[in-house]
């Protein structure tokens, strides 16, 4: 079980690294001046590659997480409320990841309408989710 937990932690940390950096690329894309097609194309390429890599990392993080969930007995019984809260937050992380892919498609099609400031704030969401998830897993408050 410790090997499963170790790999889960590695893939979650790697997945979140992608979730931290991809919106940062969106900030830069939102700041590209009109007519800077080479810069825009380079940033879009970086974002596409990072999203593909993050997708793979997410799959491995979720597979190892599901394996742990199975090994722990699905969180049934008293004192496992933290696990259910964590799983809810993981669903929010998956939704955030999906929204990043939607935003990338909008950038690619040229219909992005948000400012770089909006993307800076959007970039803070995975930080808050990670803090909440780590606190739930380590402290197990309920």
What does the mean pLDDT of the chain come to? 95
What is the distance between the alpha carbons of residues 110 and 9, in angstroms, rounded to a whole number? 36
Range of the domain at 52: 2-139
| Per-residue model confidence as pLDDT tens for the chain (142 residues) | 899 999 999 999 999 999 999 999 999 999 999 899 999 999 999 999 999 999 999 999 999 999 999 988 776 767 788 999 999 999 999 999 999 999 999 999 999 889 999 999 999 999 999 999 999 999 999 8
Residue 60, classed as helix, strand or coil, is helix
Percentage of the chain surpassing pLDDT 70?
Answer: 99
Picking from 23, 34, 16, 13, the residue whose alpha carbon sits closest to that of residue 127 is 16
Residues comprising the chain, all counted: 142
Name residues whose C-beta falls within 8 Å of residue 38's C-beta, 6 or more positions apart in sequence: none
Q: What is the pLDDT of residue 108?
A: 96
User: Would you give the distance in Å from CA 32 to the centre of its chain?
Assistant: 24
- pLDDT computed for residue 51 by the predictor: 98
Q: Give how many domains the chain has, as a whole number.
A: 1
| Whole-model pTM over 0.75 | yes
**CA-based Rg of the chain, rounded to a whole angstrom?**
17
Distance between CA 135 and CA 142 in Å, rounded?
11
33 token code pair: 């001046």
Q: In angstroms, rounded to a whole number, what is the distance separating the alpha carbons of residues 90 and 75?
A: 15
What's the confidence (pLDDT) of residue 113? 86
Query: What's the pLDDT tens digit per position in 71-91?
Result: 887 767 677 889 999 999 999
């Amino acid at each position: 079980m410790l090997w499963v937990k170790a790999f889960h932690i590695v893939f979650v940390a790697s997945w979140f690294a992608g979730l931290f950096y991809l919106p940062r690329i969106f900030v830069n894309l939102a700041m590209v001046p009109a007519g800077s097609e080479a810069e825009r194309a380079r940033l879009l390429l970086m974002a596409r590659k990072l999203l593909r890599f993050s997708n793979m990392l997410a799959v491995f993080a979720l597979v190892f997480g599901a394996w742990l969930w199975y090994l722990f007995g699905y969180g049934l019984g008293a004192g496992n409320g933290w696990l259910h809260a964590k799983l809810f937050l993981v669903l929010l992380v998956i939704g955030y990841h999906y929204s990043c892919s939607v935003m990338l498609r909008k950038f690619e099609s040229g219909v992005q309408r948000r400012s770089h400031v909006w993307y800076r704030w959007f970039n803070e969401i995975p930080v808050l989710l990670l803090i909440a998830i780590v606190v739930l897993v380590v402290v197990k408050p309920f």
